[in-house]
Amino acid sequence: MNVIKEDTVVSDSKRMKYSEGAFAKNFVDGGVKKLLLIGIVEQVKETYHNLECVLNLIGLDRIDFVCAFDLKLANAFLGIGTHSSTFPCPWCEVPKSSFSDPERVIEMRTLGSIRDNATMYQAALVNHNRKTKLSAADFKSCQNVPLLKNLPNDTVVLDVIPVMELHLVLGIVNRLYDHLDATFRGIEGCDLRAIDWSDKLCIKRPPQHGGEFNGEQCKKLLQSVHILERLIESDGTCESINKIVQTFKMFEDVRQKCFSMKLLPEYDQSIRAFESTYKDLNIPVTSKAHAIFDHVEAFIDRQGREKGLGYFSEQASESVHADFSLMWRRYKREIEHSEYGTKLLACVVAYSPRHR
């Protein structure tokens, strides 16, 4: 989980004078080299209970902050069910079955609405005598009160949990890539496969992380749609492939305009164009696609239309795993070892001062 202090600002790239002090401009960026570790645990599942224990030990309630993490952790943090739930979105109460409905009405989640539904669910749980788990569908999939305990009930979730740009890119690009491959395979006499495109770019899906392309690989695919077009032209094409190509292009436009530190004009039009091309593919609207259609523009607007999603990115908290492990190798003890705690603390103390 990446915690971004709310009173920080983006640097204007001008050099600071020594006389102005070390924090003259409160410079913060999203890079891993600017990240300070304030808590670390190993071999612990991302559950509501475990998150609650860690947050209580850290005492984050003493500062104002914005959370930057993935969708799975967001739901656990809010006390909401998983993304297979009836109401999987952390920001609104639209059911999953209505994500593709053009007449859907967006009712934003507030901390108060989650608290009320979770309280009712817990009360129903006391009287539930069946062996199967009580469904939280009647309670908007709310099971526990949010871990943002000191914020008022009228706090809109979208104001404290940003839309996570990295995981949206991962989800959309991998989903479109899989659909592209399935479409190729469904065309009689077509020898092309999606891997022919990615091989041209010298990128392979890694065996870890579910076998999905990582952030840099997804970016490279989006920036190389012209190579896919050449492959299609040399092998013959069909309307369904052209639609997928267009959807890749529209999403790259969204990424460029919304997902960097700087917000570019006409980002709202880009989102609507992407939504139209995506839905024209007749594939399921996932939680991540829904987030782009219904919450990216809203989040940017609520933040004053001054920053792109890159400012609130969770990329640093994703990159820190590999970055920290490089130093941890010099200190590492097995978790059962008597020196484990001492060595872990020493490693964190040595790691964080390098990031400023």
- pLDDT for the residue numbered 19: 38
Taking alpha carbons only, the member of 311, 343, 307 closest to residue 2 is 311
Mind listing the pLDDT tens digit of every residue in the chain (356 residues)?
655 555 544 444 444 343 343 334 444 444 656 678 888 888 888 899 999 998 888 887 777 777 778 889 999 999 999 999 999 999 999 999 999 999 999 999 999 999 999 999 999 999 888 788 899 999 999 999 999 888 999 999 999 999 999 999 999 999 999 999 999 999 988 889 999 999 999 999 987 667 899 999 999 999 999 999 999 988 776 767 999 999 999 999 999 999 988 999 999 999 999 999 999 999 999 999 999 999 999 999 999 988 899 888 776 666 677 788 888 999 999 999 999 999 999 999 988 887 65
Cβ–Cβ < 8 Å for 275, 293: yes
Cβ–Cβ < 8 Å for 336, 54: no
Give just the sign of the alpha carbon dihedral 71, 73, 74, 80.
Answer: positive
Please tell me the distance from the alpha carbon of residue 283 to that of residue 258, in angstroms, as a whole number: 23
- pLDDT for the residue numbered 110: 98
Task: Give the start-to-end residue ranges of the domains of the chain.
Answer: 1-69+314-356, 83-160, 165-311
Taking alpha carbons only, the member of 95, 108, 192 closest to residue 140 is 95
- pLDDT for the residue numbered 27: 40
Helix (H, G, I), strand (E, B) or coil at 18: helix
C-alpha 35 chain-centroid distance: 18
Taking alpha carbons only, the member of 83, 96, 105, 101 closest to residue 275 is 101
- pLDDT for the residue numbered 33: 65
Backbone phi, psi, residue 160, to 5°: -120, -15
Cβ–Cβ < 8 Å for 185, 171: no
- pLDDT for the residue numbered 68: 76
The whole-model pTM stands at: 0.84
- pLDDT for the residue numbered 4: 58
Please tell me the distance from the alpha carbon of residue 85 to that of residue 52, in angstroms, as a whole number: 21
Please tell me the distance from the alpha carbon of residue 194 to that of residue 185, in angstroms, as a whole number: 9
- pLDDT for the residue numbered 206: 82
Mark out the alpha helices in 201-335 (DSSP H runs): 215-222, 225-235, 239-258, 267-279, 287-291, 297-302, 315-331
